[in-house]
């Protein structure tokens, strides 16, 4: 996968950092769409050149009005276009003639209204690209850059109070959500570097905004609201850039889009909804995904204040044992490591407070109100003992008390100075002003202890930026020549052969065309065999009666061949039968399933799970977008809820995890070499066995070439 689409940063700079702005359709009325941005720009003090364009006015809001963009006679970086849909094309021609470099297009009436609008949008997109004009919209609320007094929006939100400039950039596909998020940012005191809405995304997409923010020196943290992605490669490139620059991306994605028809026949696709693929993409690039709006803002605000914890260790100090237990429970759910203090430190704490809980969480009890010095002593003792990557103190309503506040503030100052690379967090009730004071010291402040733990857990999951051990690990190489698959489903034998060639261990097998060949296969394959009818038209061979297992003698095999062919003919009268596949029986082991499915947006997605109900009913599968490293492949196996089964539950020997990781890498390599010609490849079952039994073994496989839709439509499914 190529990960470097051209973002045209110069064009995006003209859009988001314009030295001159023209408002087309500018009016005097500051409540109308053409009046609002000019009003903001004038009132809030935009320092670049400003031009009003309105053919029916001499002046607008005190500025001389030009009839057309071409009349301005000066370079225009950005045109804010607030005209009805019917006039947009003409304005674009004007803009091209005037060499305008970028454009915000508020107008609705494009792709969102149906085919006719979509055609108009397509034309617009084409013309803008020809003219070298970067275009945000149409049907968007535009953008704002609070630190530069740049207000290219008609959202009324800034009139209720402006968001202060800050180091968080926010890009939203939705205008409604964007306006809401603007208000939330203001109410929560968040500072923004950029606020942008991308609307119909004729040209500038969410990904462009993310990429621009990844390079923006005024941005530390990126917030993104997404409903769906058309261009997976662009999104991945933007996320890769943000990770490379060490900027956390906090993502809020809602909704799920339809799976492509090509995916319908593939098991993999039916198992992993589209949203799970987004999750896999986010995970690939270390994106923090928020699932509530509260967490969306809490995560972004926290990431902007606190350093990334260097590991998952956390020290917790509390004045309530109950809340301590709550935080410990939450911490374990969040994957944080609540390491016990050393025996010596615990003894010391017990000396100070006989009924303290000294392990971690450390509960110094209400005793702290009698001896306030306990606070600092305990905190320092904890940090000296374990040098926790994160430290969280719970102080109930202490932040509301003037006396306690003074002590708390001093504590945070001392801890910050003594442990500059530790994530500090305080959970207490306090005023917004006090909260801001602690935040200015680089200390997170929460009112809800569970929210505190969730945030710290999320931040601890961030990977270090490039240059600090955080460079993307090298993917497992897709060695070998390119593979070009014919469209449609391959036979089991063909599928097995391709995968074997790619390095997947497959069960000894051979094609048999007659009952006699089936009988001979028992000896040829060296033991009991399974027989399965061979037909690209039969998707579910078992349900069609086309499978016979554990055939130990030539006689058994002969009879079974006749039987399964007859049954399959009856169940699927139209299916083309091509004899059967004889394979050596594999006994024992754990049935797994591994697959690759081409997602229409994000390309090949690797899947692994335990077979049968664990995949189908419990949805216990792990996914990764390609390319994957060998570590990724191993992690896919280990993160299953059912992993203990593979690790050797109930006294059974552990399976060979390395051979599973190797098989997944081989499958991924095959998918990469097959490129666009692969719709899906699935190994089901992939039998996981202990190392001394030879590791894992593919027993059945189905490879489908693009377009898969055809293959799917003609498949015979005997199941109800």
**Residue ranges binding a second copy (CB under 8 A):** 112-113, 156-157, 160, 173-177, 179-180, 182-184, 187, 225, 227, 254-255, 291-294, 319-323, 325-326, 329, 354-355, 365-366, 396-397, 400-401, 429, 448-451, 543, 612-613, 616-618, 641-642, 644-645, 649-651, 719-720
The C-alpha atoms of residue 68 and residue 236 are separated, in whole angstroms, by: 39
Query: Please, where are the H alpha helices in 441-514?
Result: 449-460, 492-501
The C-alpha atoms of residue 487 and residue 490 are separated, in whole angstroms, by: 9
Q: How far is the CB of 563 from a second copy (least distance, A)?
A: 19
- Judge whether 153 and 36 are in contact, CB under 8 Å: yes
DSSP string, 85-110: HHHHHHHHHHHHHTT--EEEE----S
Query: Which CB sits closer to a second copy, 301 or 709?
Result: 301
**Please, what's the b/e burial string for 508-541 (b: 16 or more CB within 10 A of its CB; e: otherwise)?**
ebbbbeebebbbbbbeebeebbbbbbbbbbbbeb
Query: Which CB sits closer to a second copy, 47 or 431?
Result: 431
**CB count, 10 Å around CB of 321?**
15
Q: How far is the CB of 447 from a second copy (least distance, A)?
A: 8
Phi and psi (nearest 5°) for 222? -120, 125
Q: How far is the CB of 546 from a second copy (least distance, A)?
A: 14
Four-point Cα dihedral 428, 432, 434, 437, nearest 10: 120
Query: Which CB sits closer to a second copy, 51 or 253?
Result: 253
Query: Which CB sits closer to a second copy, 139 or 268?
Result: 139
Q: How far is the CB of 504 from a second copy (least distance, A)?
A: 25
Query: Which CB sits closer to a second copy, 615 or 671?
Result: 615
Which of 510, 535, 687 is CA-nearest to residue 611?
Answer: 687
The C-alpha atoms of residue 284 and residue 279 are separated, in whole angstroms, by: 8
Q: Determine the Cα angle at 608 with ends 604 and 609, to 5°.
A: 150
Query: Which CB sits closer to a second copy, 600 or 612?
Result: 612
Q: How far is the CB of 584 from a second copy (least distance, A)?
A: 24
Q: Determine the Cα angle at 695 with ends 689 and 701, to 5°.
A: 85
**CB count, 10 Å around CB of 647?**
13
Query: Which CB sits closer to a second copy, 306 or 368?
Result: 368
Which residue(s) pair with 317 in the sheet?
362, 393
Query: Which CB sits closer to a second copy, 579 or 589?
Result: 589
Which residue(s) pair with 79 in the sheet?
22, 103
Query: Which CB sits closer to a second copy, 404 or 561?
Result: 404
Q: How far is the CB of 208 from a second copy (least distance, A)?
A: 19
Q: How far is the CB of 543 from a second copy (least distance, A)?
A: 6
Which of 672, 682, 686, 675 is CA-nearest to residue 704?
Answer: 682
Q: How far is the CB of 544 from a second copy (least distance, A)?
A: 11
Q: How far is the CB of 110 from a second copy (least distance, A)?
A: 12
Long-range contacts of 175-181 (CB under 8 A, 24+ apart): 175/139, 175/140, 175/141, 175/199, 177/225, 178/141, 178/225, 179/141, 179/155, 181/223, 181/225
Query: Which CB sits closer to a second copy, 346 or 706?
Result: 346
The C-alpha atoms of residue 23 and residue 41 are separated, in whole angstroms, by: 10
Which of 331, 624, 306, 621 is CA-nearest to residue 442?
Answer: 306
Query: Which CB sits closer to a second copy, 520 or 543?
Result: 543
Four-point Cα dihedral 492, 495, 496, 498, nearest 10: 160
Q: Determine the Cα angle at 88 with ends 84 and 90, to 5°.
A: 125
CA of 468: how far to CAs of 167, 464, 465, 472, in Å? Answer: 22, 6, 6, 11
Query: Which CB sits closer to a second copy, 67 or 86?
Result: 86
Which of 46, 45, 48, 87 is CA-nearest to residue 69?
Answer: 87
Query: Which CB sits closer to a second copy, 86 or 649?
Result: 649
Q: How far is the CB of 183 from a second copy (least distance, A)?
A: 3
- Judge whether 534 and 579 are in contact, CB under 8 Å: yes
Q: How far is the CB of 154 from a second copy (least distance, A)?
A: 11
Four-point Cα dihedral 635, 641, 644, 645, nearest 10: -110
Q: How far is the CB of 225 from a second copy (least distance, A)?
A: 7
Which of 564, 572, 570, 483 is CA-nearest to residue 529?
Answer: 564
Q: How far is the CB of 697 from a second copy (least distance, A)?
A: 21
Q: How far is the CB of 651 from a second copy (least distance, A)?
A: 5
Which of 409, 317, 405 is CA-nearest to residue 363?
Answer: 317
Q: How far is the CB of 552 from a second copy (least distance, A)?
A: 17
**Chain centroid offset of residue 584 CA:** 41
Query: Which CB sits closer to a second copy, 372 or 618?
Result: 618
């Amino acid at each position: 996968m190529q990960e470097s689409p051209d973002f045209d940063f110069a064009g995006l700079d003209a859009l988001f950092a314009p030295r001159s702005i023209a408002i087309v359709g500018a009016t005097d009325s500051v409540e109308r769409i053409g009046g609002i941005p000019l009003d903001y720009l004038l009132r809030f003090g935009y320092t670049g050149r400003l031009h009003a364009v309105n053919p029916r006015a001499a002046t607008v809001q005190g500025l001389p009005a030009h009839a057309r963009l071409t009349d301005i006679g000066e370079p225009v970086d950005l045109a804010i276009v607030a005209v009805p849909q019917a006039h947009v094309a003409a304005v674009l021609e004007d803009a091209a003639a005037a060499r305008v470099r970028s454009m915000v297009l508020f107008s609705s009436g494009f792709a969102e209204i149906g085919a006719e609008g979509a055609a108009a949008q397509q034309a617009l997109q084409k013309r803008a690209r020809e003219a070298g004009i970067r275009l945000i919209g149409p049907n968007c609320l535009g953008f704002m850059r609070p630190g530069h007094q740049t207000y290219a929006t008609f959202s009324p939100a800034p009139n209720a109070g402006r968001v202060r400039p800050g180091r968080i950039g926010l890009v939203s596909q939705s205008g409604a959500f964007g306006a809401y998020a603007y208000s939330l940012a203001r109410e929560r005191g968040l500072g923004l570097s950029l606020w942008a809405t991308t609307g119909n995304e004729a040209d500038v997409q969410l990904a462009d905004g993310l990429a621009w923010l990844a390079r923006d020196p005024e941005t530390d943290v990126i917030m993104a609201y997404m409903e769906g992605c058309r261009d997976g490669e662009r999104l991945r490139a933007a996320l890769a850039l943000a990770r490379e620059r060490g900027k956390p991306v906090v993502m809020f994605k809602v909704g799920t889009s339809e799976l492509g028809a090509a995916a319908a026949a593939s098991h993999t696709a039916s198992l992993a909804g589209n949203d799970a693929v987004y999750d896999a993409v986010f995970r690939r690039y270390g994106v923090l995904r928020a699932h509530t709006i509260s967490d969306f803002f809490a995560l972004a605000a926290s990431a902007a204040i606190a350093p990334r914890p260097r590991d998952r260790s956390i020290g917790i100090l509390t004045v309530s044992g109950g809340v301590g237990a709550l935080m410990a429970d939450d911490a374990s759910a969040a994957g944080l490591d609540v390491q016990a203090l050393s025996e010596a430190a615990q003894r010391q704490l017990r000396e100070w407070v006989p009924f303290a809980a000294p392990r971690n969480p450390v509960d110094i009890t209400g005793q702290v109100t009698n001896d306030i010095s306990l606070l600092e002593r305990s905190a320092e003792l904890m940090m000296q003992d374990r040098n926790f990557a994160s430290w969280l103190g719970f102080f109930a309503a202490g932040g509301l008390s003037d006396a306690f506040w003074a002590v708390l503030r001093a504590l945070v100052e001392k801890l910050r100075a003594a442990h500059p690379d530790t994530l500090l967090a305080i959970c207490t009730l306090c005023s917004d002003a006090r909260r801001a004071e602690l935040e200015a010291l680089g200390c997170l402040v929460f009112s809800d202890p569970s929210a505190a733990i969730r945030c710290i857990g999320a931040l601890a999951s961030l990977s270090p930026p490039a240059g600090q051990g955080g460079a993307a690990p090298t993917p497992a190489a897709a060695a070998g020549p390119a593979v070009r698959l014919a469209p449609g489903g391959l036979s089991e034998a063909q599928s097995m052969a391709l995968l074997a060639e790619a390095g997947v261990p497959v069960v000894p097998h051979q094609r048999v065309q007659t009952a006699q060949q089936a009988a001979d296969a028992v000896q040829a394959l060296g033991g009991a065999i399974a027989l399965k009818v061979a037909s690209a038209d039969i998707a579910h061979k078992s349900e069609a009666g086309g499978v016979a297992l554990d055939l130990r003698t030539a006689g058994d095999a002969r009879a079974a061949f006749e039987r399964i062919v007859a049954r399959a003919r009856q169940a699927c009268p139209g299916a083309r039968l091509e004899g059967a596949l004889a394979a050596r029986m594999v006994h024992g082991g754990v049935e797994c399933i591994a697959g690759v499915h081409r997602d229409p947006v994000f390309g090949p997605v690797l899947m692994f799970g335990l077979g049968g109900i664990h995949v189908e009913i419990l949805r216990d599968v792990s996914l990764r977008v390609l390319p994957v490293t060998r570590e990724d492949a191993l992690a896919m196996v280990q993160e299953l809820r059912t992993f203990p089964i593979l690790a050797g539950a109930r006294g059974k020997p552990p399976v060979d995890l390395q051979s599973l990781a190797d098989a997944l890498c081989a499958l991924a390599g095959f998918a990469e070499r097959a490129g666009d010609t692969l719709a899906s490849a699935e190994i089901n079952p992939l039998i996981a066995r202990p190392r001394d039994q030879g590791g894992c073994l593919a027993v059945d496989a189905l490879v489908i070439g693009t377009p898969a839709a055809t293959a799917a439509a003609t498949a015979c499914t005997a199941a109800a």
